[in-house]
Structure 1
Amino acid sequence: MDKLLLIFQREYLTRVRKKSFLIMSLVGPLLTVALFAVPVMIAKMSDSGKVVAISDAGGLFQTLPEDNDGLRFTRVSADLPTAKAEFNKTKYDALLHVPKLDLVNPNGFQVFSRKGLGMSLENDMRRAVEDAVENQRLRQAGIDRATLDNMKVKVELQTISLSDEGERSSSTGVSTGVAYACGFLIYIFIFMYGIQIMRGVMEEKTSRIVEVVISSVKPFQLMMGKVLGIAAVGFTQLLIWVLLSLGIATAMAGSMSPEKMVQDRVERVNSASVTGTRPAKQSQEESNKIVKALRQADLNVPLLVGCFLFYFLGGYLFYGALFGAIGAAVDNETDTQQFMLPVTMPLVLTFVVSQAVLTTNPNGPVAFWMSMFPFTSPIAMMMRLPFGGVPTWQLALSMLLLIGGFVFAIWVAARIYRVGILMYGKKITYGELSKWLFYKG
């Protein structure tokens, strides 16, 4: 045990003292926020300040479409040659020409631009034309647009989970977000630190340091100390990320809280409704929906946190042992590809399937079996739990199978590790690995 602790301490301290660890631990949360925020900001900046000129020869637009997200419409001459000349003298982004048209079969619309149109701008113009045609048809049919809008009904569904503990309100949107966050964290950390184990074993093997080390400790102790030491590094970095994320969220809570964002949106919408560009009642209802969705979720936080820690550690130890065995079996990273594919494919498959199956049917047969199989259960079960409805016996069975899978993976990895750690210059095959499992000694 003393030797195991010594190896654990060496692996842990060696990595946490590196500048790369400190930089990623401090900058990681900011990079994560930037990963999602920067594309949105760039998209908004690129779409802002757009001006579309409308040449309405058919009299389609009785009133110009309202300004929306930085997009503004202006009217130019109905004569197309005159409109083109006016367009060339200005900095308008596009010229929309509306010909004299038949409302039964409207066609012949043209869009002129100096550069290629973006998908967002083209969709906005198409939507504006469709709304204008619809308004004209309603007017010809003698139907008042306001009356038609009042007849439309939007029904809100309150989702309630029934379980042995009783009734619990839930929110599908919030549950999906939590599920993706948990699954993504486990996925990333298993890859990051599993590969560190593999490379660490390969470095010691190629530098022949291991020949000196195993004269004092058993190969199994060396592997376990390395796996557990790097696991502690992962937990340390995760804890730092959580604390920094909470600090950032607290600092931004005053100006970026959901309630504040919704209130700002309501104020902007109400100011727009004064000018007649949008009904205040409809906007208020949409804003209320956002607030309700944020407050509706009633997640079992202690259960989620406890299970996340278990599956985070269990998944890492399971895959860490396999990555360590791969590192012991090969001499360079080129040879690792043939062995990494069968190990990493279940992780990738789980994350891909989660988008189509696990979050849409979290209690279906596919989700059940994937949450039982040790190769996929760390991610699959954590993506099921936020939705609720997972029976206690399924959760317990999944945990037992993961523990059993880890024990079996450790046994397999130790058998491979004890032989491969001292083998050099030989091309290893799957048949050769299977023989190592049953060598005596």
Structure 2
Amino acid sequence: MSKSTMNRLSLIIQREYLTRVRKKSFIILTVLMPFLMVAISLVPFWLSTLNDGSIKNVAVIDNTGIYAPLLKSTDQYDFQIIGSAELQDSESRLGKDLFAILQITNDLSKDPRAVSLTSEKQSPMELQSLIERTLNEKLTEQRLDELSNSSNVDSEAISQVRNILENSSGVSLRTLRMGDDGSVKESSTEIASIIGMMFTILIYMFILLYGNMVMQAVLEEKKSRVVEVMISSVKPVNLLIGKVVGIGLVGLTQLAIWGIMTSVLFTGVSFFIANPEQAVAVSSEMNDFNIEGILNSIMSINWLELLFYFILFFIGGYVLYASIFAMFASAVDSEEDTSQFMTPVTLLIVFAFLAGFYSVSNPDGPLAFWTSLIPFTSPIVMMVRIPFGIPFWEVLMSLVLLYGTFILISIFAAKIYRVGILMYGKKPSIQEMMKWVTYK
């Protein structure tokens, strides 16, 4: 390569490098991005550790009298020991001044499943962990006492102690939910958490996937100048609406197919487990997972309600973000130029996902409550909370705010779209795009 060619190449490299490094957007993102990433990762985690400030009352009925005194009240939970005769009165107080009822019906060293936790809402993991940890400590102590009373303390006894601690099963806390009609069904916080996260991941994935699909469609039509022909017969606003709705229907179609296939597979598995002739084929190792209990927990969830809310929040979240994606795509000429506008939007979606992830452990905390009301995060976070059982007014308020916001954003985006879709050769600033809104 000649010297003159090397000089020209170095000039091109220098120009390309300096042109981008000197941009305000590059400098701002370079300086702020580490702080934003730390804040997006740590702030939701910190907020998830906060509680709503109220103390939840838990009634404890212990027929053995062994375990109840060991349950010490905390800043969040107040354990109140009551008698068996007060059970009916306590059940009528569930969801009011009483959060849950813990019942221990037998010696746990003989029957580790003789303990249940009944609540109106899905009981949080934190409460279950506190109860299981306390009861398991006492159960281990009981088993060690039984061993020391039945054998001499020698190397063989020490070996037996070790085997007991490593291999023995601990307390199996059954969680129950009481319905509005007084019926009690077995539930599972783990199942509710998994289902909530599954729907949250679906909404997060589809908003990004189909929002980007809208952006790509707008960019392709603008770069190929096809849009100039299309708007000669269709108003830009109608073109935007058609694009958002059409791509959204693709997403709903895919979700519907997935839902039908999952239902068929789940029904097949349920029949296989429930059919006595087929159940013989299930190995003893699989029985250790308490498959029947898991299926009962899954069936205790109101799937129609969950799917109904999922569709509503998916539509609201998709239209909200798709309008934003289309708005910014119409204002630029290439995909590279969208990064200036799309980076903050993407970070907001990532923050919503992390907020939903951390809200699983504390679905009634400040983080979960407020992010499930803010329209830009509610579609993702609310799907984590719904399986745990939340007041209807919270869901209704979240939907009203979400749909009200996406209508305003859609109108705003349509006004920018009608101007930006015909603008070429210049990447506008935010201030200039604000002026487009006022154009007649």
Give the TM bin, normalised by the shorter chain: 0.5 to 0.7
AA matched with 1:210: V
2:273–2:292 CA contact under 8 A, matched in 1:
no
**Residue 250 (structure 2) pairs with residue 224 (structure 1):** no
Which residue pairs with 1:56 in the alignment? none
Deviations 1:124-172 (A, max 9, x none): xxxxxxxxxxxxx974385572798399773232334467665654211
Contact 2:331 2:427 in 1 (8 A): no
The structure-2 alpha-carbon separation of the partners of 1:427 and 1:144, relative to structure 1 and needing over 3 Å to count, comes to closer
d(CA) in 2 for partners of 1:257 and 1:197? 45
Could you say if the C-alpha distance between residues 147 and 336 of structure 1 is closer, same or farther in structure 2, counting changes exceeding 3 Å?
closer
What is aligned with 1:196?
Answer: 213
Q: Find the residue that maps to 2:170 and give its secondary structure.
A: coil
* Aligned partner letter, 1:158: R
The alpha-carbon deviation at position 418 of structure 1 amounts to: 1.2
Deviations 1:176-215 (A, max 9, x none): 1111111111111111111111111111111112112222
Alignment of 1:45-194 (within 5 A): 139-140=154-155, 142=157, 145=160, 149=164, 154-161=170-177, 169=185, 170-194=187-211
Q: What is residue 316 of structure 1 aligned with on the other side?
A: 318
| Residues 195, 323 of structure 1: 8 Å contact kept | yes
> What are the within-5 Å matches in structure 2 for residues 422-441 of structure 1?
422-437=422-437, 439-441=438-440
8 Å CA contact 1:183, 1:383 repeated in 2: yes
Change (3 A) 1:301 1:193: same
1:292 corresponds to 2:300: no
Q: Give CA deviations for 1:248-287 in whole Å, capped at 9, x if unaligned.
A: 4556667789997997441x59xxxxxxxxxxxxxx7x44
SS in 1 for 2:412: helix
Supply the distance in 1 between the matched residues of 2:223 and 2:275 (Cα, whole angstroms). 53
Shift of 1:306: 0.7
Aligned residue in 2 for 1:337: 339
Distance of 2:322 and 2:202 partners within structure 1 = 16
- Residues of 1 paired with 2:324 and 2:365: CA distance? 29
Instruction: Go from structure 1 to structure 2 and tell me whether the alpha carbon gap of 1:311 and 1:144 turns closer, same or farther (over 3 Å shift).
Output: same
Match of 2:229 among 181, 202, 212: 212
Q: Check conservation: 2:328, 2:338, Cα contact below 8 A.
A: yes
For 1:360-439, list aligned pairs within 5 A. Answer: 360-388=361-389, 390-437=390-437, 439=438
- In 1, the alpha carbon distance for the partners of 2:280 and 2:209 equals 37
In 2, distance between residues paired with 1:325 and 1:338? 13
Give the SS at the match of 1:155. coil
Give the Cα separation in 2 of the matches to 1:314 and 1:294. Answer: 31
Which residue of structure 1 lines up, in the alignment, with residue 309 of structure 2? Answer: 307
Q: Of the two, which has the highest radius of gyration?
A: 1
**Between 408-417 and 241-250, the greater mean CA deviation after superposition:** 241-250
Check if 1:353 corresponds to 2:352: no
Which of 238, 256, 259 pairs up with 1:242?
259
Change (3 A) 1:218 1:367: same
Report the residue type matching 1:182 in the other structure.
Answer: F
Measure how far apart 1:430 and its partner are: 1.9
Structure 2 counterpart of 1:307, one-letter code:
Y
SS in 2 for 1:156: coil
Contact 1:174 1:294 in 2 (8 A): no
Q: TM (normalized to structure 1)?
A: 0.58
1:165 and 1:321 map into 2 onto residues whose CA distance is 43
Contact 1:373 1:401 in 2 (8 A): yes
For structure 2, which runs of at least 5 residues remain unmatched after alignment? 1-151
Contact 2:355 2:381 in 1 (8 A): no
Q: 2: distance between equivalents of 1:324 and 1:378?
A: 19
SS of the residue corresponding to residue 372 of structure 1 reads coil
Contact 1:325 1:413 in 2 (8 A): yes
- In structure 2, relative to structure 1, the CA distance for the partners of 1:138 and 1:350 (3 Å cut) is farther
Give the AA of the match of 1:295.
N
How far apart are 1:431 and its partner, in Å? 2.2
Q: Any idea what SS the aligned residue of 1:354 has?
A: helix
Aligned residue pairs: how many? 285
CA distance in 1, matches of 2:212, 2:360: 28
| AA partner of residue 296 (structure 1) | S
1:435 Cα deviation after fit = 2.3
1:232 aligned counterpart, secondary structure: helix
Counterparts of 1:325 and 1:166 in 2: how far apart (Å)?
A: 51
| TM-score, L = length of structure 2 | 0.58
Q: Give the share of equivalent positions with the same residue, in percent.
A: 41
Aligned amino acid, residue 179 of structure 1 = G
Q: Does the CA contact (< 8 Å) of 1:197 and 1:227 recur in 2?
A: yes
How has the CA–CA distance of structure 1 residues 417 and 159 changed in structure 2, closer, same or farther, with 3 Å as cutoff? same
1:163–1:371 CA distance, 2 compared to 1 (3 A): farther
Judged with a 3 Å threshold, the aligned counterparts in structure 2 of structure 1 residues 261 and 340 are, in CA distance, closer, same or farther, namely: farther
248 and 158 in structure 1: CA distance in 2 versus 1, 3 angstrom threshold: closer
